[in-house]
Amino acid sequence: MRLAVQPAAMNGSWKLGRLFGIDIFVHATFVLLLGWIAVSAYLREHTAQAVLGGVLFIMAIFGTVVLHELGHSLMARRFGIRTRDITLLPIGGVARLERMPEKPGEELLVALAGPLVNVVIALALFAVLSATGQAIMLVDPSSTESSPIAVRLFWVNVSLAIFNLIPAFPMDGGRALRAVLALGSDYIRATRVAAKLGRGIAVVLGLVGLLYNPMLVLVALFVWTGAGAEAAGVETKASLHGLPTYTAMETQFASLHAHDTLHTAAHKLLGGAQVDFPVVDPNGTVVGLLTRHALIAGLAQKGPDGSVESTMERQFPVAHPAEMLEVALARLTESSSKSMPVVADGRLVGMLTADNIAEFLMVRDAIGAGRRRHALHFAA
């Protein structure tokens, strides 16, 4: 149902298993939903059978949601994009892709692959119902709660396909729309248009949801915030276009030595705003990165006398000062790190963080606005 690229895994989720090399998680709130379905089925029919039927039906729905997300993931894999994991939430599934495809044609296929899975499942169920002479039940208005699970699943898949194709960016239909628009104009303008339309639809969904279905309000919130965040991300990438990494890297930062203790590291953490520290050897070569997370975990495990060397991360992204900022930022976003050392000829020359890039853009925009105001002043 959804595609996301946020780097951090969702809190409060349990791993269900692994399919096609992708971990499948279920969020704790989903279990609450199962409980609610079971209780409401019991209150309605007072039989264990009704409870079991209700729970089985929900499990079947979430099976189709997993297949929907796998549709996105396996299509993305064809374009060399990995999926970090798939999480099931009460309002649907989220496939966390490492990144979105850049080519509009690829994004279109990745976006459509999910709903296409639902179309295929619906067709398969229709074939089975026809073969067993039950297809007539699909148009029987009196059969809803009591109809066979295959009939209800047919309608679930039809609804999922239609619902996801609503052009509310960043839902599947909205992504497909952005991709189609981007084929004809540039990516940023296409995103702006898709995000605006997405927010408009979110308002409508929210209002309809307030009247009829609280789940729709959650979807509307997701569309509203998602559209804004994705549009902002694309604008940032566009403003970084053509700039080398050294223009936006931090040049004043603290670093650690591999033989330093965690006590020293904690002092540096508390003494300033820096959260991730590059670790260098006596020649100035970067050998590790000590993140705040690793430092805190290390302090808890090994105490203040533990060594930086035994706690630091040894695998982390690195940038080159002459490399394009958008390329470096994409690598930083793909990794789970918040900062990356900038290294030239084996020596540490800077640190690149998302915060610093944001500050860099603010400064640049302010200078641009100042220039425009001065120009007006002179013209007046």
Binding site for Zn ion (CB under 5 A): 1, 114, 172
Kindly state the smallest distance separating residue 29's Cβ from Zn ion, in Å. Answer: 19
Residue among 220 and 329 whose Cβ is closer to Zn ion = 220
CB 304, CB 247: distance < 8 Å: no
Whether residue 170 is preceded by a cis peptide bond, meaning omega within 30 degrees of 0, is yes
CA distance 188 to 234: 6
Kindly state the smallest distance separating residue 71's Cβ from Zn ion, in Å. Answer: 7
Q: Which of 257, 256, 237 is nearest to 248 (CA)?
A: 237
Residues 6+ apart with CB under 8 A from 16: 24, 25, 26, 88
Residue among 73 and 337 whose Cβ is closer to Zn ion = 73
CA distance 332 to 316: 9
Kindly state the smallest distance separating residue 177's Cβ from Zn ion, in Å. Answer: 14
Kindly state the smallest distance separating residue 85's Cβ from Zn ion, in Å. Answer: 15
- What angle is formed at CA 94 by the lines to CA 230 and CA 173, rounded to 5 degrees? 60
CA distance 157 to 119: 7
Would you tell me how many other CB atoms lie within 10 Å of the CB of residue 368? 11
Residue among 85 and 172 whose Cβ is closer to Zn ion = 172
Residue among 82 and 257 whose Cβ is closer to Zn ion = 82
CA 75 to chain centre: 16
Residue among 163 and 316 whose Cβ is closer to Zn ion = 163
Residue among 71 and 288 whose Cβ is closer to Zn ion = 71
Residues 6+ apart with CB under 8 A from 273: none
Kindly state the smallest distance separating residue 92's Cβ from Zn ion, in Å. Answer: 8
Kindly state the smallest distance separating residue 127's Cβ from Zn ion, in Å. Answer: 23
